[in-house]
Structure 1
Amino acid sequence: MADTTLDLTADAPTLTAKLVDFPSESGQEKPLADAIEHELRKLAHLTVDRYGNNIVARTNLGRAERVILAGHIDTVPIADNVPSRLDDDGMLWGCGTSDMKSGVAVQLRIAQTVAEPNRDLTFVFYDNEEVAAHLNGLGKVAEAHPDWLEGDFAVLLEGSNAEVEGGCQGTLRVLLKTTGERAHSARSWMGSNAVHSAAPILAKLAAYEPRRPVIEGLEYHEGLNAVRIEGGVANNVIPDECTVTVNYRYAPDLTRDQAIAHVREVFADCDIAEFVVDDHSGGALPGLSHPAAAAFMAAVGGSALPKFGWTDVARFGELGVPAVNYGPGDPVLAHKRDERVAVERITHCEVRLRSWLTD
């Protein structure tokens, strides 16, 4: 039987390896949530609450400021990259090493070792980040128990190569549907091919020039891409339906409505039978001028970078809590079969966070 216990006294790289070897694909996080809750309840300085497979632990020391350290405990599907392994170059390999069990390990180490922080702390461990937005555990906690997430500043330990990444891009998924008329492929002129009707959509995408706006000194890079195309009935039938799934990753200077309007404009002269917004999460502005963010930047050092991708800093922004991304993982390696993280970066993030919370 697999070992389902966690040792929070282990160093952060060792704890990362243990978390990686503890499978928790999206929708299957309960055993890991159980183990995290069990260990956190042993810590007398924390009050622990649970909602579904989401764990929230807090200090209540009456400090002037409350900081939230948050991270998701799920991973994308395992791709023959578990168990973890440590190579001679100090790289820890395995599913979730970068996204984001190394960050979760740092959270757990801070929870275990920092009993009297200079700021009150809230630790959030949540499920279903890697799937559709409506399943996101942080969102469910925010809806059911918003008081659990009250704070002055939040650090999301998503992989950022141990550099502060400001804000995040929005992500919009749209289904563009074309229609035609079925016919036998031997008499194709008697029908209308819906797959062929999707060609102008693909041409627009191939020619699209994404924006690269500079926001608060950070340059974001947008993207508009087809990520799936579906159509066809049988090998001898002219298809009467086709759907192109388009993903728009947009800079946080656009609102959700503006993002939808932009995509509609791009395809305005295409023959689209139906335009369906399938999934949508808005972005978050960097907010690095906020005093708490400035203090954090001064403590951890380095230069702020834009976040290419969507993260839950956007959810904290909606709650009125300024937030940044700061974690040991490499975002470029997230979701890859050869996912890995530098052990040195795990230790670096832990040391920097502990120093900020205790000095």
Structure 2
Amino acid sequence: MQDQPRKTLGRPAKPARSTNAASGNANGSTARAGSTSRDSNKPQVEFETVEVKADSLAFSLVGAAQAVAYVLEGTALPQALARVFTQTNPLPQARGAIQDIAYRTMRQVGRVDALLKIMTNKTPEPALLYSLLCCALTLLVGNEGDEEKAYEEFVVVDQAVNAATSSPHMVFAKGMVNAVLRRYLREKDELLKLVMKQPAAAWNYPQWWVDQCKAAYPQDWQAILSCGNHAPPLTLRVNQRASTVAAYLELLASQQIGASQIGPFAVRLDRPMPVQNIPGFEAGVVSVQDAAAQLAAPLLDVQAGMRVLDACAAPAARLAICWNWPILN
């Protein structure tokens, strides 16, 4: 019998339209050959856990895995995360962990999928199980630029097994989750050396994207792809009506938070952190805005009495810079 094509995270596929009795798995991804047909584009496996602490890594792994599973269905990650947050109503700490793990995983899609291809005979199903393995492997492999791993290896393995155990859709595979992750830890040097020969694993982009980037930017494609695999910096805009950049940097230093000024009103944190933990964020002293976006309003040289139209305002952060200037009413 011909091997079933494997589903990867590289490029969302359209839902399957036909049934295949050979699969018999109603929880599989819509894009997998052999998956059953569906009445809608929604994945059949919704977030459902039992006896797992809401502040545990296991809970966050299941949440991140569910978000990744939604991406497999064709949903963009921000919308997938919003859906998971609505379903789970997680604690702020868990919310941050779910989002962090999901984004880490999407930056490692090529590498972890290649590792799973080597360590499994066929794509783990349902999609939630495949996604959980991708999330756990991502934490074990680490992201480019990380000074240290986000979690200890033994913690990741233990909590991934707990995550599988907590879900009725994955409990049957808890032994397989343990075996796959422990095999990676035993053979990681050999496994990584093998998969890094594949462009999709080396760059963490699907081959079609690598090829298009090469064609469009023949001199810079490697730097572009590498940059995309790093977590973006967290840049803040200081509200000039509430503080100054110098005063805000002193406030951060008093709380042992490293940061530097990179623009007239821009402060970049050395390490990203949840916004609820950023000093002055809730009081409106600072807001999150990229440094480049902060330059748009000053370049207009807006003066008091002028009317400003932001034709692409969502949520009007550039326009807010004008409002926050002390010289303007």
**Range into which the TM-score falls when normalised by the shorter chain:** under 0.3
More strand by share: 1
Q: Greater helix share, 1 or 2?
A: 2
TM-score normalized with structure 2 length: 0.25
